[in-house]
Every structure is written in C-alpha cells, then in structure tokens.
Chains A and B, each alone.
Chain A
Amino acid sequence: MTVLRVDELSVSAGGQSLVRDVSFQIGAGERVGLIGESGSGKTLTASSVLGLLPDGLHATGSVRLGEQELLGASERTLSRLRGMEISMVFQEPMTALNPSMRVGSQVAEPMLLHGTRPDRRAARSAAVELFDSVRLPDPEGTARAYPHQLSGGQRQRVLLAIALANDPALLICDEPTTALDVTVQAQILALILAATRERDTALLFITHDLAVVASVCERVLVMLDGEIIESGGTREVLSSPRHEYTGKLLAASDLEAR
C-alpha cells in the first residue's frame, strides 16, 4: 500500500527553480532515505510534503497522501493532516521547542488538537508514556521540565515523542541527528527505527550522512541541484553507484572504513 506518492514535484522562488520533477513513492512501513549535499533541495522536498514551504516559494506537481492530494489543499485540510497523518522531526533540537512551555504540554498538544485523547489528563499521561517509550529518564519529571533543562539528545527525544504522538502514517525526519554527538546519534536512530517498525510507519529520512542511510533505510534517493539523479535499494546504490556524484559522496564519506 502506497502511503506517499510524489509526482513531478517542482519548487520555485520567483523565476528560480529550486526543485525539479521529483517523483517517488513510499509504502507503509517502508524507510526511504533522501541524500545529497546542503542546498540540493532535500528539505524543500520534505517541506512541500508537509505544506510548510517558506513564504514566497511555490510548489507544482502532485503530492498524494493515500488518496488525498496535498498540493493546493486548503490550510484547513492540511492542518488536520499535520501532526496526525504526517509528522516531522527537525534538525535543530535546541530551538525546535517552545522555551516557555513545559515539554509535557508540548507533547500533549497534538493529541488534544486532533482529539485523539479525550481530555488534558489523558493527553498528559499519554505524554508521559511516550517519554518512557523514547527512553527519557524519569518520564514524569521530564514532562514537567522546560526545554532549557534538557540536553540536546533529550530534546530530540521529546520532538520524536511529539511526532509519534498520534501514530502518523508518515514520519519525516530532516537530519534529526546532525546536531547531536555521535553516541547520542546512534541512540536516536535506534529509537526512530524501533518506533517506525512498531507502528508500521512510512519513513522519509533526510540526511547527508551515508552511514546513517545504510543503517536505517531500505531504499535511497540521491538528490543533486534539485533533481533526483539516482534511486534504488540502499545496498545496490551504495555498493555500485551509477551516477558519478553518488560515487563522490561515497568516496567522501569513507563508508568502507566503518
């Protein structure tokens, strides 16, 4: 079953084309990596799926979630899907949480907003359970903490809990481990893997780190200058790249050494 189907997606700003003719699909429970260097259009592709492109940018083509067309859908429709059917974990855990709100309330919010829990109390205890499932120490106490009282890795776990709160069909992770140190990276990746497997969630995983793609994703899409230049099973693409650029990425990553 196809969860996400992107057809000939293009993004432009004014007359300038930033993403061109991007097409791919993700099935239920499938984990797809989107790799490429900074500025290749990975994040814009993900933002188009969520309908959260920065002001002044325009997307054309088609993005379908199940049967629902997302491009050009009303803000009303999109806001019902965001946090419910599609959620996203962003790159910067240090700034992605509201500094003046307790993290427990921030996790409870999407459940209350979409009515997946009957009341504040139920949403709160669900938040504490989620904190437990993302292996946050002292889930009860953490729920009462403010973001500045948590480390970067802990904040990213909170953000993951927010994204998973309503068991979305599609989870988008945009470089979720780039800002974290190596040992924490591995833990967060393991959590994302476990969570998506458990829920049969489709995963679109954006990164520039080939080692991460190799450990998380089944399929991989390689982007260069706004276009997908190569795609296929992770093993195939990484072991015998057809495109020169993929080869360069591989050489630069010293994946063999690991």
Chain B
Amino acid sequence: MTTSAVLMALARRAAILLASVLVASVVIFLFMTVIPGDPAQVALGVNATPELLARTRHEFGLDRPLISQYLDWVGGVFSGDFGTSYVTREPIGPQLVDRLGVTVWLVGTGMLVALAMAIPLGTLAAVRHRKPSGAAISGFAQLGIAVPAFLAGMLLVQLFAVRLGWLPSGGWTPPNQDAGAFLRGLVLPALSLGLVQGAVLTRYVRTSVLDTLGQDYLRTARSKGLRPYQALFRHGLRNAALPVITVLGLQLATLLIGAVVVERVFVLPGLGSMLLDSVASRDLLAVQGIVLVLVVGVLLVNFVVDLLYTVLDPRLRGS
C-alpha cells in the first residue's frame, strides 16, 4: 500500500472521529438543557429576586436561543475555553486541564499494571492450560474479576498504608514538585485500578493465546525447527494481540469510569472527583465540559485501537 493511501485512510478515520465528537457535543448539550434546574437560581440561592434572576440569566447568556448558546459553547471548547463556572465564577478550562492530567496518569499507570500482569500471566495460563499452574492462574484471574476496584483500593490501603505504613493512603503530589512522593502516591491507586482490569484481561489473553496455539501456522513454525516458546513469540503473539486490543480499547473506557471511584477513595484531584463535585454543586456547565472531555477520551482510544489494528493485521490494510 502506498503512502498516500495510508494518509487517505488516516484522514477518513480522523474525519469520522471529528464527526463523532460533534455529535457527542450536541447530545451532551441537549441533555444538560433538558434536565431540570436553573443555573441562575443555583448561583443566587433560593432568596433571589425575579429581577436579579433575569439579570443573571442574561449575564450567563441563558436567555438566548439554544442554537446560539450551543455554538458559543462548542466554539469556545475548540479554542480551549470551556466557559465560566456558574458557581465559582472561575474559568472551567484551566481546572479541567489540571484535573485531566491527574486522571491520565492514573488511567495510564492503571493500564500498565493491567498489561504487565495480563500478558505474561495470560500467556503462561494458555501454555500450561493442562497443568495445575495454568489452572491456578485462571482461578486467580476469575477471583480478581469478582472484586470491584473500590474494594481492592480499600483493601490495599488497609494493608500497605494502615498496617505496613509503606505508602500514603491518599493525596496527590504533582510530578514536577516531588517526583518520589508523586510515584509513591500513585502506586496504590494504579494498583487498585489495574489489578482488577488485569484479571479481566488475563482471561482474554489466555483465550486468545490458546486459540493461537491451536493454529496450523504454529505447527508449521514448529516443523521449521522453532522451539515451542520461540514459535509462540515469533508467530503467535502478534496474531494473539488482535482480539486482545479490541478488549483493551473497551477496558480503557471502563478504566475512565473506574477512575471516578478510585479518585474518590484516594482523594485524588482528578476529572472524576471534579465531576462528582460539580454534580453535587449543580455546576452544570462544568459537568457538561467534563462529560465532553471523557467522551472525547473514549473516542480517541477507539481511534487509536483502529489504527493499531491496521498496523498489526496486514489483511485489514487492503491491497
């Protein structure tokens, strides 16, 4: 396939991504306008006079037609301006960026933990599926799936923070302030998010590798003189990766949601805790912005998964 064809395919995917983001922004905006609650009322309290309410509504731009409100919001978002909070009267954008950083660190390290656990364990479980060690890994993974992330988090805190005192039970230090404290603070949240996902992923890796082990081309590889593990690494893992990556994309979306809870447990100033705070204070414009960022995150992950697929599987590249 030529370079220009690659670029064309890439451009098509990017256009689809952009269109999805636009549709999502419309849905989110409409959803926020139909749910009951008047931002001006929230901002001013129950004792506000009708005149003051009307003036504040005008100030927020809530008396304008919906379409111009939407265009204003989306136009701002594309230039990084998420509007001004109805509650704190501060710009939402900068805070969103700060919080997003925390969540990206959390989800990223959580995913690394999951992968670091699932790839070796799942492969081993598949190779040894007839032996007790393989069955033990599968059983352990099954157990891990049954544990919700917040419970894993609380158990980890109980053991490593309360009993052993090795790691902090919560809080956040930015990486540029104190790298050591930053890493120590990230260990438990990343583990509680990653271990559970890792257990789920282990099962998928096992199934996929097991399936690959039974393929004819692995027998061909053995007949060339490759040892069992050589054959698996050179010919099996790349092919086994395909179905796993699909699941991985879905899991990243799950991790974003899981992060909301884990941030609460570990008192991390991420997007999740910002979302919960904003919902509690009925800061609708902030909620709207956070939800949009989360949705764009999930769409981006799918975009990357699609690209990875074409990189790994020549059959999807077209000829």
Binding site for B on A (CB under 8 A): 50, 52, 55-56, 75-76, 79-84, 87-88, 90, 92, 95-101, 109-110, 113-114, 146, 148-149, 159, 162-163
Query: What would be 28 A-B contacts, judged by CB atoms less than 8 Å apart?
Result: A52-B219, A55-B130, A56-B130, A75-B227, A75-B228, A79-B222, A79-B225, A81-B225, A82-B222, A82-B223, A82-B225, A87-B224, A95-B215, A95-B217, A96-B220, A97-B217, A99-B313, A99-B314, A100-B239, A101-B235, A110-B225, A113-B225, A146-B314, A148-B314, A148-B315, A149-B319, A159-B220, A163-B223
Residues of B within 8 A of A163 (CB): 223
Q: How many residue pairs, one in A and one in B, have C-beta atoms under 8 Å apart?
A: 75
Chain B CB count within 10 A is highest, among A87, A90, A97, A98, for A98
Minimum CB–CB distance from B221 to chain A (whole Å) comes to 7
Q: Is the CB of A98 within 8 A of B217?
A: yes
What 1/0 flags go to B211-239 for Cβ under 8 Å of A?
A: 00001110111111111100000110011
**Interface flag for B312 (CB, 8 Å):** yes
Question: Knowing A146-B314, A148-B314, A148-B315 touch, does A96 contact B224 (C-beta < 8 A)?
Answer: no
Which residue of chain A has its CB nearest to the CB of B217? A98
Chain A residue nearest to B213 in the complex (CB): A55
**Which of B130, B224, B315 is most buried by chain A, counting CB atoms within 10 A of its CB?**
B224
How many B residues have CB within 8 A of the partner chain? 23
Q: What is the bound-complex CA distance between A81 and B312, given in angstroms? A: 32
Is there contact, CB below 8 Å, between B217 and A113?
A: no
In contact, A100 and B223 (Cβ under 8 angstroms): no
Q: Determine whether the beta carbon of A162 is less than 8 Å from that of B224.
A: yes
The reply to whether B221 and A100 form a contact with Cβ atoms under 8 Å apart is no
Q: Which residue of A lies closest to B220 (CB)?
A: A96
Q: Which 7 A-B pairs have the closest CB atoms?
A: A83-B225, A83-B224, A95-B216, A110-B224, A146-B314, A82-B225, A98-B217
> What residue of chain B has the Cβ atom nearest to residue A85's Cβ?
B225
Q: Considering the complex, which residues of chain B in the window 279-319 have a beta carbon less than 8 Å from any beta carbon of chain A?
A: 312-315, 319
Give min CB distance, B73 to chain A, whole Å.
45
Bound-state Cα–Cα, A162 to B223, Å = 10
Q: Which residues of A contact B220 (CB under 8 A)?
A: 90, 96-98, 159, 162
| A168 CB, nearest partner CB in chain B, Å | 10
Given contact pairs A75-B228, A83-B224, A114-B225, A96 touches B219 in the complex (Cβ within 8 A): yes
B223 close to A52 (CB less than 8 A): yes
Give complex CA distance A253, B239 in Å.
40
Q: How far is the CA of A7 from the CA of B241 in the complex (A)?
A: 43
* Residue among B215, B235, B319 having the largest count of chain A Cβ atoms under 10 Å: B235
B223: which A residues are within 8 A, CB to CB? 50, 52, 82-83, 87-88, 90, 163
